[in-house]
């Protein structure tokens, strides 16, 4: 895309849908919003058909607010719950076949680098545990082995939520689900360690209990992917339908899981650390100057 495509041609304002006009006037294109300002600007993602109280929807909402450069970002998704909200956002969205998101993203990122050599274009894959760790496992792994420069975010609801509740490789051991009544016999895949071994330069595991931290992790992953190589975020986004969590207690569940197996974890290579510290120092200085 790019900013010139976002702006409305003069004279056409009154023919454009209200939501679009709001997006251009009060949205986040062309300026950097802080995630703590949520609720005070028009968000990129619109109303979506995800279930009430879905924390995957919450993660996606924070993800779009945290994007460092939404007008130059392309998001890829695949079959699964996440695509229902991803496709409702004002950021180009590509729907890969089940499992091939990382292969599509590899080609796309390479093509964008050739087509726009003087611009930074971010490519971000957001897919579920089935799309990345079960069915798309091979393509995810190989994109990391090749060192492709884009971000992969796994929104892990630990179940195939769209198709009635089959167990996935990421379901915890022993859990009984609607379409897996015998209980899962194997351990949860350790995706974070796999990513580290496979060559990711920045790896994080989070539970969505702190919007500021989610935003920080997402921005770091995108910045690191621009320069160094693949980055990976493993986010716990519970499925309140298949795991029968009352909607009121979804955040409580996320907080409890954070204390158990979804403790915040962040790992990066030394050169990435230096690079990110430099960027964050510059951002802080800029923010200070704006306050003055």
179 contact partners, CB below 8 Å, separation of at least 6: 160, 163, 164, 165, 166, 167
Please say whether the beta carbons of 235 and 221 come within 8 A.
no
Region binding another protein by CB under 8 A among candidate stretches 40-48, 72-80, 156-164, 259-267: 40-48
The residue among 91, 128, 97, 100 whose CA lies nearest residue 222 is 91
213 binds another protein (CB under 8 A): no
Site string for another protein, 251-270 (x = CB under 8 A): xx------------------
Phi then psi dihedrals of residue 16, to 5 deg: -85, 150
57 binds another protein (CB under 8 A): yes
3-state secondary structure labels for all residues of 3-38: HHHHCCCCCCHHHCCHHHHHHHHHCCCCCCCCHHHC
Region binding another protein by CB under 8 A among candidate stretches 3-11, 140-148, 242-250, 263-271: 242-250
Q: What secondary structure letter does DSSP report for 206?
A: E
Nearer to another protein, 38 or 94 (CB): 38
Among 36, 111, 179, 197, binds another protein (CB under 8 A): 36
50 binds another protein (CB under 8 A): yes
Nearer to another protein, 51 or 279 (CB): 51
Among 45, 75, 133, 192, binds another protein (CB under 8 A): 45
- DSSP helix/strand/coil, 89: strand
Name the site residues for another protein (rule: CB under 8 A).
35-36, 38-40, 42-43, 45-48, 50-55, 57-58, 61, 64, 211, 247-252
């Amino acid at each position: 895309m790019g900013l010139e495509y976002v702006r409305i041609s003069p004279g056409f304002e009154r023919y454009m849908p209200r939501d679009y006009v709001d997006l251009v006037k009060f949205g986040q294109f062309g300026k950097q919003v802080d995630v703590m300002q949520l609720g005070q600007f028009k968000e990129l993602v619109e109303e979506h058909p995800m279930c009430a109280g879905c924390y995957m929807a919450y993660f996606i909402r924070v993800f779009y607010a945290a994007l460092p450069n939404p007008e130059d970002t392309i998001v890829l998704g695949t079959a699964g719950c996440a695509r229902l909200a991803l496709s409702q956002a004002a950021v180009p969205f590509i729907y890969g076949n089940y499992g091939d998101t990382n292969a599509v993203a590899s080609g796309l990122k390479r093509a964008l680098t050739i087509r726009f050599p003087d611009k930074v274009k971010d490519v971000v894959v957001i897919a579920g545990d089935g799309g990345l760790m079960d069915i798309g496992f091979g393509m995810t792994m190989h994109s990391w082995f090749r060192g492709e420069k884009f971000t992969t975010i796994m929104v892990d609801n630990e179940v195939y939520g769209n198709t009635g509740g089959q167990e996935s490789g990421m379901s915890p051991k022993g859990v009984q689900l609607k379409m897996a009544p015998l209980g899962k016999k194997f351990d949860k895949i350790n995706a974070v360690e796999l990513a580290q071994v496979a060559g990711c330069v920045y790896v994080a595991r989070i539970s969505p209990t702190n919007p500021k931290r989610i935003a920080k992790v997402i921005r770091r992953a995108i910045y690191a992917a621009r320069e160094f190589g693949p980055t990976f975020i493993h986010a716990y986004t519970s499925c309140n339908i298949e795991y029968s969590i009352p909607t009121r207690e979804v955040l409580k569940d996320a907080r409890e899981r954070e204390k158990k197996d979804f403790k915040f974890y962040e790992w990066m290579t030394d050169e990435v650390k230096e690079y990110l510290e430099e960027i964050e120092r510059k951002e802080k200085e800029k923010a200070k100057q704006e306050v003055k």
